[in-house]
Amino acid sequence: MTDVVSPEKRSQMMAGIKGKNTKPELAIRKALFALGCRYRIHDKRLPGKPDLVFSSRKAVLFVEGCFWHQHHCHLFKMPSSKQDFWRAKIEGNRLRDMRVREELQVQGWRHLTVWECALKGRTRLPFPVVIDRIRAWLESAEPTGEIEGIRDGDRRPE
């Protein structure tokens, strides 16, 4: 299928996608702050500049876009144009993610990833459920965690 916009317009559109302070990230920050959670954002002293840093709990949170980090869900589809470029770009993101998380663990930090599909699309979870899962993970001793959308066959949480 051919693109409905020119290559120049598509490039402009893709360049406009933000990596920080996205709507999902802002919604999570606001909800956690309202619950009394205090954090720093995008701390440059830590590998990967995590979206939220909970220093007192030695924990970080990443809010990841399913397309940019090749999450295996309905929101990821490899583009049909410039496949070599996109394959290299997305694989580079995945490799950097793995390296960053390993570095964080070596430094004694716990990490949680919240995937975009948990917050939007047909597999999204109710927002309060996402926040409850984040809070539960923060209060736990689990070294790592992921929150993703509902998988086929799973029951929708209430």
Q: What is the pLDDT of residues 14-23, one digit of tens each?
A: 555 656 788 9
Superfamily, domain 20-147 = VSR Endonuclease (3.40.960.10)
Whole-number pLDDT of residue 140? 97
Distance CA 17, CA 155 (A): 32
To the nearest 10 degrees (0 to 180), the angle between helices 127-139 and 23-34 is 60
Distance CA 158, CA 129 (A): 7
Whole-number pLDDT of residue 5? 65
Whole-number pLDDT of residue 124? 95
Find all residues with CB under 8 Å of 149, minimum gap 6, and list them.
73, 74, 115, 117, 118, 121, 122, 123, 124, 125
Q: What is the pLDDT of residues 102-121, one digit of tens each?
A: 999 999 999 999 999 999 99
Whole-number pLDDT of residue 82? 86
Beta bridge partners of 28: none
Whole-number pLDDT of residue 7? 67
Are 59 and 138 in contact, with CB atoms under 8 Å apart?
yes
- CA distances, 135 to each of 25, 29, 112, 113, 148 (Å): 15, 12, 11, 13, 15
Distance CA 57, CA 98 (A): 21
Three-class DSSP category at 62 = strand
Instruction: Using DSSP bridges, classify how beta strands 52-54 and 144-147 pair: parallel, antiparallel or unpaired.
Output: unpaired
Whole-number pLDDT of residue 110? 98
* Tens digit of pLDDT at every position of the chain (158 positions): 566 767 676 566 555 565 678 899 999 999 999 999 999 999 999 999 999 999 999 999 999 999 999 999 999 998 888 889 999 999 999 999 999 999 999 999 999 999 999 999 999 999 999 999 999 999 999 999 999 999 865 666 76
Tokens representing 6 are: 């020119």
